[in-house]
Amino acid sequence: MRMDLKRIVVIGPESTGKSSLCEALARAFGTIWCPEYAREYLTEHGKDYTFEQLDEIARGQIRLEEEQADRALQQWSRQSNPVTPCPMLFVDTDMYVMKVWCEFVFGKCHPWILEEIGRRKYDLYLLCNTDLPWQQDHLREYPDLETRENLLGIYRDLLKNQTVPWMEVTGSGQDRIDAAILAVKTHLLTKR
């Protein structure tokens, strides 16, 4: 991983606005974002996935993130007056999401995913709360609030027990985006 690039990961249960938030943050900070590879994979291979396929999805997510990281660095270096003092990449989903997915559905996780959690370095996590209304789509599995809240609690516990700064993002529309922008500015762009 390239350490000169600030990586901000947006995680949380499904239908919490992760992709929309990544896109809005990338626009606000003049950079690009990395989508969730699983959506592409499951659209191509079908929604009935296996434990082994989650390993393929995790590897695809990392490949896609590294490709987008290179693009973000190139884009930032070409800007004559960049919006930020450093290159940034907003990432929809990381190996914590893959860990939770594996364990929630199959009760176990691929060792490689756990190794990648320890190896990969990020600068900030934004945890999307379940306070947005559920939006049905062909890939989503858990429309009930109880399951979504349970998953949110799992993500909170993961973030509390690691060292990267994080913030829970709540609210809707521009309020949610503004809260995330403030978190990025506070944790990554303000000298302490």
CA–CA separation, 186 and 145 (whole Å):
31
pTM here is 0.93
The neighbouring-strand residues paired with 9 are 91, 125
Beta 32-34 vs 88-92: how paired, if at all?
parallel
Residues 6 or more apart from 12 whose CB is under 8 A from it? 18, 127, 128, 129, 130, 151, 152, 155
The neighbouring-strand residues paired with 34 are 91
pLDDT of residue 192 exceeding 70? no
Segment 10-53, tens digit of pLDDT: 999 988 999 999 999 999 999 999 999 999 999 999 889 999 99
Map out the domains of the chain as residue ranges. Answer: 6-186
Neighbours of 110 (CB within 10 A): 19
Q: Please tell me the predicted confidence (pLDDT) of residue 140.
A: 65
Phi, psi of 148, rounded to the nearest 5 degrees: -65, -40
- Categorize the per-residue pLDDT at 1 as very low, low, confident or very high, splitting at 50, 70 and 90: very low
pLDDT of residue 96 exceeding 90? yes
- What CATH class has 6-186? alpha beta
pLDDT of residue 131 exceeding 70? yes
In one-letter notation, the amino acid at residue 56 is: E
